[in-house]
Structure 1
Amino acid sequence: MLYIVLLFLLLAVGMPIAVGMIATGLLYVVLEMGMDPLIAAQRVATGIDSFPLLAIPFFMLAAELMNFAGITDRIFRLAKSMVGAISGGLAYVNVLASMLFAGMSGSAVADAGGLGRIEIKAMKDDGYEVDFAAALTAASSTIGPIIPPSISFVIYGLTAGVSIGGLFAAGLLPGLMMGGALMALIAFYSKKRKYGRTQRFSWRELKDALAHAFLALMTPVIIVGGILGGIFTPTEAGAFAVLYAFILGKFIYRTLHWRDIPELIFSTALSAANVLFIIAASALIGWILTAEQVPIKLAELIVEYSASPWVL
């Protein structure tokens, strides 16, 4: 109990989650279990010694490549041509673009970082309140970890031993429902605040935008279809997504430059390190809980009290 309190105190004073977990776990291993500190280091390293976890930096790198290659601009233009003619059009565009990009990045951070800047600026220039634009962008970006391919599903699948392909298939409908719920809310606010249309609907503009974004839209089809069809593992799908995004940006769209590569790799490394560091720290805490038989003791406690008529 003391170490749990210590962990929350460390987090409360601003220590990073992974560092706090490792520090608490290390103290417990040395002081309570009487083991060598190297055991803790070994468990931390073992936590990320997994081939499927390579899918995380691969999908993050693919998302960065798409941002640098301007694919987000093409997605935004397509969404705008589809729903921009509705009252409150840019708000709908915000959500629809996030749903489309979610099928390529699998990350809320990539969505907010890539599309977010475009969406907020466009909504602000069109007369939308900045707080509404920012709040909607933050909310719509959370669709990223739900619609496949999802980095969160990769982590959960590895931790729980569940089929990642099955999780991807199961995430599609909830992601669409989240987008639909946000659009229903937008309809209410658009009527209340009298938001206007962004543009007139044009079949020519829609066809042109679709043609420009078509190859990018094939990314989720190839990735998810490949995983569900047994062609790719999630890690191989992530590697293919990187290759596909690079070819699109460098050789087809010609918007990705060699000078961009070091920056996007460094950005990906920082983002991936944050996620993997937490996974590694969690592995140490999980090992301690298992070694101390905490799950068994907790289950026995629940069974004991579940016999009480008051609990039932």
Structure 2
Amino acid sequence: SLPFVIYGMMANASIGALFMAGILPGIVMTALLMLTVFIFARRHGWGSDTPFELRRLAGASLEVVIVLCFPAAIYLLIMAGLSVNIAVLIGLAVLVAVDWYFNFHAVMALMTPVLLIGGMTMGWFTPTEAAVAAVIWSLFLGLVRYRTMTFRALAKASFDTIETTASVLFIVTAASIFAWLLTVSQAAQLFSDFMFALTDNWWTFLILVNILLLIIGAFLDTIAAISILVPILMPVAARYGIDPVHLGVIITLNLMIGLLTPPIGMVLFVLSRISKMSVERTTMAILPWMIPLFVALLLITFIPALTLWLPTQLGLIR
């Protein structure tokens, strides 16, 4: 979500639209990765550490169904004549009571994206304010509902967040100065003219952008790459008629894959350190899992409806 926020700031795009635009691509990536897991599991005979239990599957499925029924219940209450606020309060009260009585494992945690997306959709808070709502809800879950968080852990998480946020803001500040220099020197316009003279086909442009981002994503941090590249690519994409929200999803996915791209993807070194394996072995192990990611990237790049349909239906973009 943070790359979407930074991209929205740099491109002056709707952060809410970016969040909505990422849902269908996320489902596509999940389905492709699930298919890959299925193929590998069948080919290598992988199994679970614990035996399959239909009861546990049914319990987990029931919790997911309860969460999915919450928006439907709110809609029915509104159709019955209740105001939105009253309907949501009644729904939350019933949900909390049911969760307290049956002591579900994950219903309240699964409600987090429902509350955030619903709150932004109904105009209760902006995407920036949604971060505050997420923190408040997470504190309630950690300190009150599940009691898995201590005040010492909360203090440590707060200081870690301050440190991370400060570093990101320094990068954004430097990138803003860089964007201003590009504007003053007309470098972005010159690059736009060069690309448009090279090709007038938006497919070709997006192929070149994907290659560029995959290479840069292997070298640069995601936030830094977005902050530097967006002021350059945005004017060019506008000339090709590419929607800024669509471009934002493409950039974010490319940079995410770039972090995994051998031989210098930064995430590779993190994975090798956690798994206590060499970078070479980690690289070889991760290569097959790049295939579904590249397939998803191609689908998302050349089928704009995958990213733009949902935010368009919600009225977030025209």
Using the size of structure 2 for normalisation, the TM-score is 0.46
Using the size of structure 1 for normalisation, the TM-score is 0.46
